[in-house]
A and B are shown apart, each in its own frame.
Chain A
Amino acid sequence: MKTVDRSKLNELMNRVSSGDRSAIDPLFEDLRPVILTFATKILTSSLEAEDVTQQVLINIFSRSSEFIQGKDALSWVFGITAYECKTQKKKTSRRKEDGDALISRIQATENFEDKLIINQLQDLLKDIIADLPSLDKETILLSIEDSLKPEVGSATYRKRLQRAMTRLKQAWRVKHEF
């Protein structure tokens, strides 16, 4: 950061606060880099620091009549900058929180849609299974419910299940054309 001439800054600030328009440009040129450096140190993002610098400059000039002549202008400027940086930080964290909430809401919506699709598919599947022969129906239900044990041997059961699944797939294709 380039060295700040405090006495020059005080003099310019006094002139601006009393209504001397010719001091606006030099004060702007002197203050801008100082505020930007200060804001960059507080805020991590340089873009945010640039935004804050612009806001602080507008605040300083519009509140210049509040500046008490004889006080240190740089301290006054840093006070306003620190406040703006704090506000910016709050805004950023609030935006992040809002973003997180939005993401979880979207996720919840996606889960809901998934559940709805699964329910619809299950209903369709139940309809098709209901139309199957009773042996196929029984075999498929046995395969879904792990707790139930088939009454026949495992090889026979596997064969039955294979046949039942083939018929189920055929019935699905016929009914839903895919």
Chain B
Amino acid sequence: MNSEILKNNIKRAYEWARFRQSLILLLWTIPLTLFSIWACGTITLSIILGTLLSVAAVLFLWRGQILGKAALTGLFLGTIAFLIPLVFHLSGLCCKADLEKEICAVTGALVGIILARSITKVENKKVVYTSASLGIIILAGVLGCGSMGAGAVVGLVGGILIPIIPFYSFFKKA
């Protein structure tokens, strides 16, 4: 076989294998989406956000390198941002005292601190890593907080961004 043809076959096999392996993340995102549909009752919003989350996670892991790392970090932290407000929501704790926004903001801050710590461990392309992780965390977080209203979503996103910005600038200087 011609060397160029073989090289092309290898590249095709490589991309296809990476894509197949990245599909494993669907085992993570689909249950999140189903749980969101069950817990929040917002079917359309959950399906749209779940699809976006799945596509982004699979795409990032398939591309690999820094995006692959960001996909995994994002999904891990996104699951935290998804679960904590939903658990409070389902237990009725936040609804009685109208604490949805606060709980989403605190969860966001917690996730933001962990993300900021993980950014310090990344050597190159910190901006790409931060943006990709943030994208996935926000998608997963909104999947959980979306049904609690716009205020909860703003609280979550703000909570995530607040610790990142100072951490990011501090470690950039260091």
Binding site for B on A (CB under 8 A): 16, 18-21, 24-25, 28, 32, 54, 57-58, 61-65
Contact = CB atoms under 8 A, between A and B. Distances in A.
Contacts of B67: 19
A57 B7 CA distance: 9
Given A19-B18, A25-B7, A28-B7, A61 B64 contact: no
B125 to A, nearest CB: 12
B66 to A, nearest CB: 9
B1 A54 contact: yes
Interface of B: 1, 3, 6-7, 9-11, 13-14, 16-18, 21, 62-65, 67-68
Contacts of A16: 14
Given A57-B6, A58-B9, A18 B14 contact: no
A16 B67 CA distance: 14
A62 B16 CA distance: 8
Given A18-B64, A63-B17, 17 more contacts: A19-B62, A19-B64, A19-B65, A19-B68, A20-B65, A21-B11, A24-B7, A24-B10, A24-B11, A24-B14, A25-B7, A32-B3, A57-B6, A64-B17, A65-B17, A65-B18, A65-B21
B14 A62 contact: yes
B10 A18 contact: no
Contacts of B62: 19
B65 A18 contact: yes
A60 to B, nearest CB: 8
Contacts of B9: 58
The 4 closest A-B pairs by CB, nearest first: A19-B64, A62-B17, A62-B13, A61-B14
Contact of A28 (B1, B10, B16, B65): B10
B155 to A, nearest CB: 35
Most buried by B among A20, A21, A63: A21
A155 to B, nearest CB: 79
Contacts of B16: 62
A54 B21 CA distance: 22
